Amino acid sequence: MAINVTRSSMPSYEEYCEEIKDLWESRWLTNMGAKHQQLQAELENYLSVPQVALYTNGHLALENIIAALDFPKGSEVITTPFTFVSTTHAIARNGLVPVFCDVNERDYTMDVTKIEGLITEKTCAIVPVHVYGNICDVDTIQEIADRHGLKVIYDAAHAFGVKYRGAGIGSFGDASMFSFHATKVYHTIEGGCLCYGDELLVEKLSDIRNFGLHGQEECLYVGGNAKMNEFQAAMGICNLRHIDQEIAKRKAVVERYRARLENIPGIKLSVIQKDVQSNYAYFPVVFDGYKYSRDQVVALLKEKEILARKYFYPLTNAFSCYQALPSAGKEKTPIADYFAERVLTLPLYADLSLEDVDRICDIILQ
């Protein structure tokens, strides 16, 4: 049977229908209705963060927080190219300049020893990514930001539910964005949220999310439309009831992969981070000096209708739309380029059976 790289978790059909029933009574389908408000409160609690704002998708959440911070146009933002293109676009679409910092060899997050060398008088913020759910060195990044007066906005799209020393990962930096896309650990079909601490941003973010309107007769910002609707929120309420079991099932899958692929010469697995409660979002494997190259492994799996993903390849600084930037070009971020050429994320979802994990490993090890 074909195996995809991911498969969305869903509540039972009955549970979702029960949750959306109210909507036929209220006829309130979007614009911060009852479901939206309920999910927001439940997420503030689950993620252990002071404030959550819900969005129609994660990308717009990231665009909106960058917009709300009002950086002068043309300011520079230090970020990583080893990510989904959304991260880089959210910076560029705000009229800011992405400056690409390399990643480290342990966990593929931003190499904190290379950040300060990229800071100029135009730098306004750092946008790191908790890639694969591996968390960035949040302590060092905050120290650097404080020393230089920079904002820190995390792309935490992969990191829903992750904790560091017992604290919700969304509580670090000035803000964090989680994606609730159907392919993520937790989803609202499409969706996303921001976590942030500054109460002064509550109204502003809310206005920007709704066309910049402030009440019915005033418009303060050139905003867009990024509101999460009630059907999305209902899916989120249902999925949140089951999230801990979902993560536990992912853990069993990841442990089986590790048991089968650990200590194989030429296969490198991601480190297990200290003091981190993982969400087991992805299982990246690096092939370097193995009997098969990454691309050969992709082909071997594909023959058996198993789809693994070259995630992340290409790097965002290799895309043609960014070639005019002074920091662009993958040769400027050699470690990220090294991983982009060699990494593969293997199929991983809560309901992936251990027999299927074994089948995938057998093909790789054949």
Ligand X SMILES: *Cc1c(COP(=O)(O)O)cnc(C)c1O
HEC assignment per residue over 81-141:
CCCCHHHHHHHHCCCCEEEECCECCCCCCECHHHCHHHCCCCEEEEECECHHHCCCCHHHH
- Reduce the DSSP state of residue 24 to 3 states and report it: helix
| Distance of closest approach, residue 54 Cβ to ligand X, in angstroms | 12
* Pick 99 or 153: Cβ nearer ligand X: 153
| Distance of closest approach, residue 331 Cβ to ligand X, in angstroms | 23
Q: Does 236 bind ligand X (CB under 6 A)?
A: no
CA dist., res. 194 & res. 216, Å (int): 24
One of 9, 51, 79, 86 touching ligand X (CB under 6 A):
86
* Pick 109 or 290: Cβ nearer ligand X: 109
CA dist., res. 315 & res. 301, Å (int): 23
Q: ∠ CA 353-354-355 to the nearest 5 degrees?
A: 85
| Distance of closest approach, residue 85 Cβ to ligand X, in angstroms | 8
Residues from 109 through 138 that contact ligand X (CB under 6 A): 129
One of 40, 57, 75, 229 touching ligand X (CB under 6 A):
57
* Pick 280 or 290: Cβ nearer ligand X: 280
One of 35, 36, 163, 181 touching ligand X (CB under 6 A):
181
Q: Does 192 bind ligand X (CB under 6 A)?
A: yes
* Pick 229 or 267: Cβ nearer ligand X: 229
* Pick 57 or 94: Cβ nearer ligand X: 57
Please provide residue 196's backbone torsions phi and psi, each rounded to the nearest 5 degrees.
-160, 165
Are β-strands 284-287 and 343-345 bridged in parallel, bridged antiparallel, or unpaired?
antiparallel
One of 6, 51, 83, 88 touching ligand X (CB under 6 A):
83
One of 6, 19, 39, 58 touching ligand X (CB under 6 A):
58
| Per-residue CA distances from 306 to 3, 256, 300, 301, 302 (Å) | 5, 17, 9, 5, 5
Q: Does 158 bind ligand X (CB under 6 A)?
A: yes
One of 5, 65, 157, 208 touching ligand X (CB under 6 A):
157
- List, in order, residues 6 or more apart from 210 with CB less than 8 Å away: 31, 223, 225, 226, 227
> Residue for token digits 């930096």?
173
**Span of 57-65, 146-154, 301-309, 333-341 interacting with ligand X by CB under 6 A:** 57-65
One of 6, 9, 64, 179 touching ligand X (CB under 6 A):
179
- Reduce the DSSP state of residue 94 to 3 states and report it: coil
Please give the structure tokens belonging to residue 286. 């690096």
The secondary structure of the chain in percent helix, strand, coil, rounded to multiples of 5, reads 40, 15, 45
* Pick 185 or 286: Cβ nearer ligand X: 185
**Span of 65-73, 151-159, 163-171, 283-291 interacting with ligand X by CB under 6 A:** 151-159
Are β-strands 167-168 and 163-164 bridged in parallel, bridged antiparallel, or unpaired?
antiparallel
Q: Does 87 bind ligand X (CB under 6 A)?
A: yes
- Reduce the DSSP state of residue 258 to 3 states and report it: helix
Residues at the interface with ligand X (CB under 6 A): 57-59, 83-84, 86-87, 129, 155, 157-158, 179, 181, 192
